A = this chain, B = another copy of it.
Amino acid sequence: MSAPQTIYDIATRAGVGIATVSRVLNGSSKVGPQTRRRVELAMRELDYRPNRAARRLATGGPNRPRVAALMPFFSASFYYAISRPLASGLSAADIDLVLCNVASRTDKQRFLDRIVAERSAEGVVLGSMGIGPDRHAELRRLGIPVVSIEFPLPGIPTVSVDNLKGGALAARHLVAGGAKRLGFIGGPVLAIPFRLREDGFRSVAGDDAPIERAAEVSPAAGAKATAALIQADPTIDGVVCVNDLLAVGALEELARRKRRVPEDVQVIGFDDLPLMDVLGLTTVRQPMSEFGDWAARAIAARIAQPSVAVASQELGLTLIPRRTSRTAAKTRKRQVR
């Protein structure tokens, strides 16, 4: 590719003034057809492309802020549920949302590098991921506020739930339903929330309870982990899953093995994703849409008033009993915190 051309280059090339170039650029009708053709030709020949920043500066257009949302967006519909209110909230605050689908650690760094190098965002929303203290310092130096969803970071406003308590809640629910031997299906260990739920589970099921960690979060992985769990201990009659998708896989595997749910084995998930009601999965519901709402409000506030701090918030978890667990004496929804 050629080096960036300017209207001067193409004006010279076409033998006209820059004003004329600008005119054809903006589709002004006050340009002779002859001239227009010459200019258009020159633009094509030089592979010219207008500089956005210059245009906006010149036109004095509004200076709408942009926030970059970094999330492993498409790994689970969890983020979908968060993005919806996030997008709406930001839109209402007249802020543009730039989606950054983070699929790997390098992805994340690439996006962040860009943001600081080009100052291409006035705010950053982190979904389920952290940033190093150096990076944080850099962003704060540049005055780019950051808020986090589901990933507590020192000095960064965060919205989260008590995952430790949530894991315990799930385990206790199955125990209340009569489960004697609990197993746990975890997720990738790097995910802090997953680890906390696991710890919570342990706190009630004991340290010797069998645990399987799925490498990825999908029904297939959940099925595989379930098989491993049963192999490890055939007497298991309660499976706590770190996430709904995994739980769905557990259900599939159990059906395949002709184990009745919840009679033989109870299953509980985490999140309460869309369609889980249809599937009848008992789960611990996360307030996903509130996550998005909060993030939108928080980042908008930080951008509007950099000087006033916004406080982190911990939201409540709700146990949603459905068909995959036994309800001892009419268990109802139970609010935690």
Contact = CB atoms under 8 A, between A and B. Distances in A.
Given A101-B88, A275-B248, A279-B278, A74 B83 contact: yes
A64 B278 contact: no
A84 B101 contact: yes
B64 A120 contact: yes
Given A99-B97, A141-B27, A275-B248, A63 B52 contact: yes
Interface in A1-59: 4, 25-27, 44, 49, 51-57, 59
A206 interface: no
A273 to B, nearest CB: 9
A234 interface: no
A214 interface: no
B51 A54 contact: no
A64 to B, nearest CB: 7
Nearest to A54: B57
A53 B49 contact: no
A142 interface: yes
Contact of A52 (B73, B87, B103, B122): B122
A117 interface: yes
Interface residues of A, number: 53
A61 B307 contact: no
Nearest to A69: B99
A63 B142 contact: no
A63 B87 contact: no
B279 A26 contact: no
B44 A53 contact: no
10 contacts: A26-B142, A49-B63, A52-B56, A53-B63, A56-B118, A61-B119, A74-B83, A88-B103, A98-B99, A219-B278
Interface of A: 4, 25-27, 44, 49, 51-57, 59, 61-66, 73-74, 77, 80, 83-84, 87-88, 91, 96-101, 103, 117-120, 122, 141-143, 219, 248, 251-252, 274-275, 278-279, 307
Interface pairs A-B: 5 shortest CB-CB: A27-B141, A74-B84, A53-B56, A53-B57, A87-B101
Given A27-B141, A44-B307, 8 more contacts: A27-B142, A52-B65, A52-B66, A61-B119, A64-B118, A74-B88, A98-B99, A251-B278
